[in-house]
Structures are given as C-alpha cells and as structure tokens.
C-alpha cells in the first residue's frame, strides 16, 4: 500500500465516523418541530521523516511518523417548525467570557509593563 493510499484510508475512516449523526444521533421530531443537531468538525494531520548517518561504523538512523485526529464539537441545533426555521447556538456565553478574560489579562500585562518603564 502506498503512502497516498494509506493516508486516504485514514481520511475515509475519519470521515465515516466523524460526523454529526455519529456523535449526536438522529434528528428528533417532537410537538410538530424537527430538531437537527449541528456540529463543528475539524480534522488535523501531520507527518515527518528523518535520517542521519554519523559514520560508516555506526548504524544508520531513520524514522518516519504520521498522525491524524478529529474533533467534533456541538455548535447548536436547527429547530424547524411549519412556518419558520431557527438556528440556536450553544456556548456563546462561554466564548464571550473567555474573550473578556483574555482582554483583562492582556490589559494587566500591558499595565505592568508600562509601570516598569
């Protein structure tokens, strides 16, 4: 199996398992509404190879590596009714709190630097 075929087989497996339906299940129908889960899916891959030969008397050293991963996070739900469709986000308050906290830390750091000058 070539490297390209190997990588493609990994991508195919991740694609088959890393989707909203696999993680969150099927859409739900209740009280005249259809609820469809929505997720953010991110893939990451990396690889490397190397080698060295210090002298004729030492063994050749070489190595190869390949890795990949997937992250699936809930983003929200689509709520479909007879007359409207609405997207309801998850976690917006957490993002806002995180940004405010980072801003506070950056402000404190800048203030400490300017007071030392």
What DSSP element (H or E) covers 65?
strand 61-80
Q: Is residue 96 part of a domain?
A: no
Two tokens at 42?
A: 């991110």
DSSP one-letter code for 90: S
Q: Is residue 110 part of a domain?
A: no
- Count of alpha carbons within 13 angstroms of residue 113, beta-carbon side: 6
Q: Is residue 37 part of a domain?
A: yes
Structural domain including 69 reads: 3-90
Per-residue pLDDT of the chain (117 residues; tens, 9 = 90+): 777 887 788 778 777 776 667 767 788 898 889 998 888 888 887 877 777 766 555 566 777 777 777 788 888 888 999 899 999 888 766 677 778 888 888 888 888 877 765
| Residue in 81, 72, 77 with CA at minimum distance from that of residue 90 | 77
Q: Is residue 27 part of a domain?
A: yes
Q: Is residue 44 part of a domain?
A: yes
The total domain count for the chain is 1
- Determine phi and psi for 39, rounding to 5 degrees: -135, 160
Q: Is residue 116 part of a domain?
A: no
CA gap 19, 25 in Å, rounded: 10
pTM for this structure? 0.50
What DSSP element (H or E) covers 95?
helix 92-116
Could you tell me which residues are beta bridge partners of residue 49? 64
């Amino acid at each position: 199996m070539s490297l390209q075929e190997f990588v493609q087989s990994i991508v195919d497996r991740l694609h088959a398992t890393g989707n909203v339906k696999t993680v969150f299940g099927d859409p739900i129908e209740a009280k005249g509404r259809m609820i469809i889960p929505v997720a953010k899916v991110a893939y990451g891959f990396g690889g490397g190879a190397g080698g060295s030969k210090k002298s004729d008397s030492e063994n050749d050293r070489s190595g190869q590596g390949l890795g990949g991963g997937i992250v699936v996070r809930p983003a929200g739900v689509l709520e479909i009714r007879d007359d409207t469709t609405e997207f309801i986000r998850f976690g917006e308050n957490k993002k806002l709190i995180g940004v405010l906290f980072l801003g506070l830390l950056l402000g404190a750091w800048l203030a400490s630097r300017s007071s030392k000058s």
